[in-house]
A and B are shown apart, each in its own frame.
Chain A
Amino acid sequence: MNGRMISPGKCRGNAIVSKEPIGFYGGVDIKTGVIIEKNHPLEGKSIKDKILVFPCGKGSTVGSYVIYGLKKNNVSPLGIINEETETIVATGVILAGIPCIDKIDISKIENGDKILLDSDNGIVEIERK
């Protein structure tokens, strides 16, 4: 699949998929990378070292710092794939240096899929067994 580069880089990993938007501030624990938003479909799950897939960001604009902090604390996702990346997530991933791509039909990606995210070339590949 082809998308738009938000933040450069290349990575390979397992997908963790949320059909719901993610608000990083108040939604993700900055120290552990675990989703803490009550009743979120991914509540209790860790996004560390995963390819995090979600439609778009939501909520507080402090989310950028949370993404930056996740990276500094070594608990960030390897890469991020969105339908539409809004400014808060974009600022966070650029600052943190996390590869990120958007304009991707995320309904094609399932939890646990092996993903190649090549943001430099705007490509997402699903490598199913």
Chain B
Amino acid sequence: MYLTKDEEKILNGEMGEVQERLFRLLVRLGDIYGADKMIPIGSVQVAGVSYKSIGDPGTEFLEDISSKETKVKVLTYLNPAGMDLEDWDKLGFPKDFAKNQLRIINAFKRMGIVITTTCTPYLAGNLPRFREHIAWSESSAVSFSNSVIGARTNREGGPSALAAAICGLTPNYGLHLWEKRQPNVRIKVNTNLVYNSDFGALGYLVGKTVKNKIPFFTGIKNADTDQLKSLGAAMAASGAVALYHIEGLTPEADLTNDKGLETIEIGKKEMNNIYDKLNSGEEPDVVIFGCPHASLREISSICRKVEGKKLKKPIWICTSRLMKEASDRMGYTNIIEKAGGHIVADTCMVVSPIENMGFNVTGVNSGKAANYLPGFCKQKVVFANIDKLVEATL
């Protein structure tokens, strides 16, 4: 790979040991995947933030880097933490967990990373433009930025995204190149998708089926950004889909070459099977929305459904701090809390220790959450649309 004089200097250790170590990782990845050069990036999103996910080894790795006073070069956001960074005590997050979580947060802060911990950075002030090169790692945010916005990023691992942030560079390969963004399988959807959970179920099935391919969807007539985030998140969790195109909806779809692709058809029957497959529980102990983090539109729609009601089972809505603030101002938070629900910021169900908080069966409308909860949180899952889930809490 071609390196500029300045980049050679980083590699020779002239910019310090930390930059050298992290840049070496980027050069290595570039060499493996056939990058011709490094390219500057507009922004970064770093995954691997929850103490539950990265444990002591990851925490020590991050503290080591931050102790050398290394700073990031571009706008860098974080993935969700393992707890609400402000209300953790009130919400019942364990104290020893909180102590370790805050160590991680402080290490990131010291590097100059914005402590906005969300899997939807594009809803919270980190919005790339069409064709901008970025290095993001949260798999659902990678999918959203590539597919819905048309920015360009590979699926970065937590450490490679951090390396990109500190060097301001990423190797030019994979989804940074137009020829690698062409679809290689067609998904013909023959059924109406109504609820966000329908998009989650579709995404779960397609991710399982196509693994790391680039699907080209036809037959999806309309979808808002909440539904697209649900679709992409599920495909990235059950498979490794980092980019998808939807005919008529996403910005690169009309520009790609979709001739002669193998076609997979998905109808009502396949969708029903997925709903059945994702359901392993009967009555939820808790219903959690916001995987990926809820938008203000999603919060307001839950708010309308629970207004004036008394919940027998709690509802949690996970979101970013910014959306929570807007929700507070609009009075949604108050209405939801009065009914017996909570808006939880900075974290999500998958990365928080819910299995230690007395829950065994969790209701979700997210294909991504349904994919992770059984293994990682030892939860049985009720997978259903928002109306059925709210009904189950009353």
* Chain B: minimal CB distance from A105 (Å): 17
User: Which of B46-54, B222-230, B289-297, B298-306 forms contacts with chain A?
Assistant: B46-54
Q: Which of B25, B29, B155, B238 has the most CB of A within 10 A?
A: B155
B54 contacts A88, CB within 8 Å? no
With a cutoff of 8 Å between Cβ atoms, the chain A residues found around residue B57 in the complex are 30, 65, 68-69, 71-73
A84, B137: Cα distance in complex, Å: 19
**How many chain A residues touch B (Cβ–Cβ < 8 Å)?**
39
B159 contacts A68, CB within 8 Å? yes
* Chain A: minimal CB distance from B293 (Å): 15
A6, B79: Cα distance in complex, Å: 27
With a cutoff of 8 Å between Cβ atoms, the chain B residues found around residue A26 in the complex are 350, 372, 375-376
The B-contacting residues of A in range 69-83, CB under 8 angstroms, are 69, 71-73
* Chain A: minimal CB distance from B159 (Å): 5
With a cutoff of 8 Å between Cβ atoms, the chain B residues found around residue A61 in the complex are 47-48, 137-139, 142, 155-158, 161
* Chain A: minimal CB distance from B243 (Å): 13
Is B178 an interface position by the 8 A CB rule?
Answer: no
Contact with B along A11-47 (1 / 0, CB 8 A): 0000000000101011100110000111000000000
Q: Evaluate whether A59 and B160 lie within 8 angstroms (CB atoms) in the complex, with A27-B375, A65-B57 already known.
A: no
Identify which of A27, A63, A71, A87 contacts B29 (C-beta below 8 A). A87
A59 contacts B240, CB within 8 Å? yes
CB-nearest residue of chain A relative to B22?
Answer: A95
Contact with B along A81-102 (1 / 0, CB 8 A): 0001111101110110000000
A25 contacts B160, CB within 8 Å? no
Contact with A along B54-91 (1 / 0, CB 8 A): 11111001000000000000000001000000000000
CB-nearest residue of chain B relative to A60?
Answer: B139
CB-nearest residue of chain A relative to B50?
Answer: A62
With a cutoff of 8 Å between Cβ atoms, the chain A residues found around residue B25 in the complex are 91, 94-95
With a cutoff of 8 Å between Cβ atoms, the chain A residues found around residue B138 in the complex are 61
With a cutoff of 8 Å between Cβ atoms, the chain B residues found around residue A85 in the complex are 32
Is B237 an interface position by the 8 A CB rule?
Answer: yes
A65, B142: Cα distance in complex, Å: 18
A65 contacts B53, CB within 8 Å? yes
With a cutoff of 8 Å between Cβ atoms, the chain B residues found around residue A62 in the complex are 47-48, 53-54, 79, 137, 157-158
A58 contacts B212, CB within 8 Å? yes
Identify which of B58, B155, B372 contacts A68 (C-beta below 8 A). B58
A65, B157: Cα distance in complex, Å: 8
Is A115 an interface position by the 8 A CB rule?
Answer: no
* Chain B: minimal CB distance from A51 (Å): 20
Is B374 an interface position by the 8 A CB rule?
Answer: yes
B212 contacts A56, CB within 8 Å? yes
B159 contacts A91, CB within 8 Å? yes
With a cutoff of 8 Å between Cβ atoms, the chain B residues found around residue A94 in the complex are 25, 28-29
With a cutoff of 8 Å between Cβ atoms, the chain A residues found around residue B327 in the complex are none
* Chain A: minimal CB distance from B302 (Å): 26
A62, B104: Cα distance in complex, Å: 15
**How many chain B residues touch A (Cβ–Cβ < 8 Å)?**
41
Q: Evaluate whether A21 and B29 lie within 8 angstroms (CB atoms) in the complex, with A26-B350, A60-B47 already known.
A: no
A5, B371: Cα distance in complex, Å: 32
Q: Evaluate whether A87 and B375 lie within 8 angstroms (CB atoms) in the complex, with A4-B32, A65-B53 already known.
A: no
Is B342 an interface position by the 8 A CB rule?
Answer: no
A86, B173: Cα distance in complex, Å: 12
B375 contacts A38, CB within 8 Å? yes
* Chain B: minimal CB distance from A9 (Å): 13
With a cutoff of 8 Å between Cβ atoms, the chain B residues found around residue A4 in the complex are 32
Is B239 an interface position by the 8 A CB rule?
Answer: yes
A56, B374: Cα distance in complex, Å: 22
With a cutoff of 8 Å between Cβ atoms, the chain A residues found around residue B375 in the complex are 26-27, 36-38
Q: Which of B58, B61, B138 has the most CB of A within 10 A?
A: B58
With a cutoff of 8 Å between Cβ atoms, the chain A residues found around residue B137 in the complex are 61-62
B211 contacts A56, CB within 8 Å? yes
* 19 additional A-B residue pairs with CB within 8 Å, beyond A21-B211, A56-B211: A6-B32, A59-B240, A60-B47, A61-B137, A61-B156, A62-B53, A62-B137, A62-B158, A65-B57, A69-B54, A72-B56, A73-B55, A86-B240, A87-B160, A88-B155, A88-B157, A91-B160, A94-B28, A95-B159
- Could you give 24 example pairs across A and B, Cβ below 8 Å? A30-B57, A58-B211, A58-B212, A58-B238, A60-B47, A60-B237, A61-B137, A62-B47, A62-B79, A62-B137, A62-B158, A64-B48, A64-B158, A64-B159, A65-B55, A65-B58, A65-B61, A65-B157, A69-B55, A69-B57, A73-B57, A87-B156, A91-B160, A94-B28
